[in-house]
Structure 1
């Protein structure tokens, strides 16, 4: 396919969002040298409500305004963090996992350089994620988990301030900003399971735009796509969202896909985990099976009960 045109690319304006968009554009520019890509910076409800608790905004708060711009043909495609994209894609739009997944793990950035299990009792850790809070409390019920908002740079500053002893954030965000060296500890996926899609980027475009679909399909990588499809199938089957402490992470080893899944009460006092393994050709079925196992193991009482 030969394109010779200007493509308008929607992105949030945060440093991380722009870095993510540039990561995708660098792949596309290498393949489509005659195409000009113009980044269109857009504001979302999540950005405009910078002090609101994340659980009050719901999954999709950083995406929906950009989707409206897509539907109104103000942009040709958009780049999102996959974990920000809700289970329901608006009619008329499609998503593809774009580029290669970065490290999906969460990391602790500790003021004192101490790992999670070495922190003193009553240490104060910042995160806006119910998923992270529940799992941290399950491991260390004696630490205090406090809400924190802001971009990656703001949260790192707060980790060094007087109100927090550290923050827990995504390794991928630090890596994409060139700040991974500031991580104190990488948290094991079996103890702090990552969010659905964490570390993965998504390209969203209008259904029926065959030219754009073909262009974006050229930067879909098999392993990233397989894990993405399994985790999305889990999310759809579990019925959870950003406001529920649920998690799923697909790990690829050759032809084998292993799913690590978790659901918990917000305080971390009850936590259910499951694993599901199968061939990569059955990615969606593995995700659905993992969700079914988790729900049947007791998670349905606090995930689907409202």
Structure 2
């Protein structure tokens, strides 16, 4: 390893800093003689909190400033929640490592209710995700779903102040910050199919930094990488963005992957689902096959109405 100093770019939220420091610790363990530093940054996605992501440009708002730091050399790598990384990166950037996945499920957090099913008509559920919103509305049409923005602590604070009766968050974020006791119920994939990459971390570099690829390769967890390739292939084929309620979730079964995906109307009035099993070694092909199945089943028309 020729690199004796690495700088990690990250958002400054508590969860993002945890993720960057997790990667920092892994790199320090792998390369004891390397100095590994964290550069915290505030992104446009962190500053715009009065509108939903789907209306202000999508999850890419969380990565642009970090990519600028990679581009001008202020940082060597950026650590992201993989579900926040756009499936079509600009050609000058590359996703070079994917860490072992934490719990990919969604979690219900509430002070009053133990499940969505026991919430009374008109109770308010908060979520920042059209994917979650569509699935909640489909199964629990009696509930109100309202937008919820901000970092994890901000969202929990809004719940605790009574602005919502319950909120739905990624279980992995709560687990990473030691907040597992806030989880009232883990939502099964059958009830809330996760987002592509949910629970894993993605490490981004400049595409021309070939010196870093071998350095960062040990951080990749091969089964999670295969899952991510399949899931992100679905999203890429369907033009996945925050404007589209889209879920894709792959599970490793020996040498195979079981991939489930859906695309939905935000109000839950229509959800199209597909599922296939295929070789993990052909993860992207499996993702494309599931995407084509969704398109043939009517996703093309549904996406056109959302576009």
Q: TM-score, normalised by structure 2?
A: 0.96
Greater mean deviation of Cα atoms: 149-158 or 268-277: 149-158
Does 1:149 find its partner at 2:111? no
User: 1:198 aligns to what?
Assistant: 198
CA distance in 2, matches of 1:151, 1:112: 22
Cα distance, 1:304 vs. partner?
A: 3.6
Cα distance, 1:72 vs. partner?
A: 1.2
User: 1:285 aligns to what?
Assistant: 285
Does 1:21 find its partner at 2:9? no
Corresponding residue SS for 1:218: helix
Asked if structure 2 preserves the Cα contact closer than 8 Å seen for 1:109 and 1:166, the reply is yes
Greater mean deviation of Cα atoms: 220-229 or 93-102: 93-102
User: 1:136 aligns to what?
Assistant: 136
Cα distance, 1:208 vs. partner?
A: 2.5
Cα distance, 1:278 vs. partner?
A: 0.7
CA distance in 1, matches of 2:73, 2:304: 37
Asked if structure 1 preserves the Cα contact closer than 8 Å seen for 2:113 and 2:119, the reply is no
Asked if structure 2 preserves the Cα contact closer than 8 Å seen for 1:97 and 1:200, the reply is no
CA distance in 2, matches of 1:83, 1:217: 20
CA distance in 1, matches of 2:40, 2:67: 13
Does 1:265 find its partner at 2:260? no
User: 1:48 aligns to what?
Assistant: 47
Cα distance, 1:97 vs. partner?
A: 3.5
* Alignment deviations for residues 20-51 of structure 1 (CA, whole Å, 9 cap, x no partner): 11111221111111111111111211012122
CA distance in 1, matches of 2:36, 2:232: 29
CA distance in 2, matches of 1:179, 1:162: 19
User: 2:252 aligns to what?
Assistant: 252
Asked if structure 1 preserves the Cα contact closer than 8 Å seen for 2:230 and 2:287, the reply is yes
CA distance in 2, matches of 1:81, 1:261: 20
Cα distance, 1:3 vs. partner?
A: 4.1
Cα distance, 1:161 vs. partner?
A: 2.2
* Alignment deviations for residues 97-132 of structure 1 (CA, whole Å, 9 cap, x no partner): 432111111011012142111111111000111111
CA distance in 1, matches of 2:96, 2:230: 13
CA root-mean-square deviation = 1.2
Asked if structure 2 preserves the Cα contact closer than 8 Å seen for 1:263 and 1:273, the reply is yes
CA distance in 2, matches of 1:97, 1:231: 15
User: 1:31 aligns to what?
Assistant: 30
CA distance in 2, matches of 1:282, 1:207: 23
Does 1:167 find its partner at 2:167? yes
Cα distance, 1:4 vs. partner?
A: 5.4
Asked if structure 2 preserves the Cα contact closer than 8 Å seen for 1:259 and 1:275, the reply is yes
Q: TM-score, normalised by structure 1?
A: 0.96
In the alignment of these two chains, the number of paired residues is 305
CA distance in 1, matches of 2:272, 2:191: 11
User: 1:8 aligns to what?
Assistant: 7
Cα distance, 1:90 vs. partner?
A: 1.4
Long gaps (5+) in structure 2:
none
